[in-house]
Amino acid sequence: MYEKFLINLGTWAPTLLVIITGFYVWITKNLVNESKRLREEQYRPRVVIGHEILKRGDRQNEKKELVHLLVQNIGTVPAFNIKFKIESEILTDKGNNLISEIPFIKQTYPYLMPNQKLKDYLFNTETPPEEIAQSTCRGKVSYSDTLNDAGKVFEENFVIDFAYIKDTTLLE
């Protein structure tokens, strides 16, 4: 009985070994693909658009918060050929200009290094609350990971909603 088991095991063992090896090959392939995907996500530019509220000093008993448009590359490599497409406009305090008239929004910006920020003044919090509450800017930003056209192009949507600012007070 024991001898028959060993003979049968000898005929089935190579088949079992092939199945187990195939399973390990499949697992290894999945791990390699996941590692590649994670590396690509980690080493890429990532341009984000938002706003920043800055407290202005007490100048002539005037306490205003200034709202700036903020564009930043939070990725680990430079972003090149940054282009903006504004789909819903908002007015800025600078001579009633549209947000699309801001120089780095209007033209293709050549590059943003990792953690580099671009800022431009939009309005202050003394702007009538009704105007701020209705201020939502929507658009798209596109950029690439190389200076020439051979790189990968990324395109992302963004929404900047200023409605909550009307009731915000900055603490010192």
Residue type, 1: M
Best CA proximity match to 82, nearest among 170, 7, 144: 144
**What's the pLDDT at 132?**
60
Residue 6 token pair: 């060993």
**Token digits for 95?**
């001579």
- For the chain, 172 residues long, give each residue's pLDDT as a single digit of tens: 667 666 676 677 788 888 999 999 999 999 999 999 988 888 899 999 988 877 765 555 555 677 888 999 999 999 999 999 988 877 777 666 788 888 888 888 999 999 999 998 887 767 655 566 567 888 999 999 888 777 889 999 998 887 776 666 555 5
For residue 115, is it left (φ>0), alpha (ψ between -120 and 50) or beta?
left
Could you tell me if 45 and 79 are in contact, meaning their C-beta atoms sit under 8 angstroms apart? yes
**Amino acid identity at 49:** I
In sequence order, which ranges of the chain are alpha helices (DSSP H)?
2-42, 103-106, 129-133
Residue 166 Cα to chain centre, angstroms: 26
Domain ranges of the chain: 1-42, 45-167
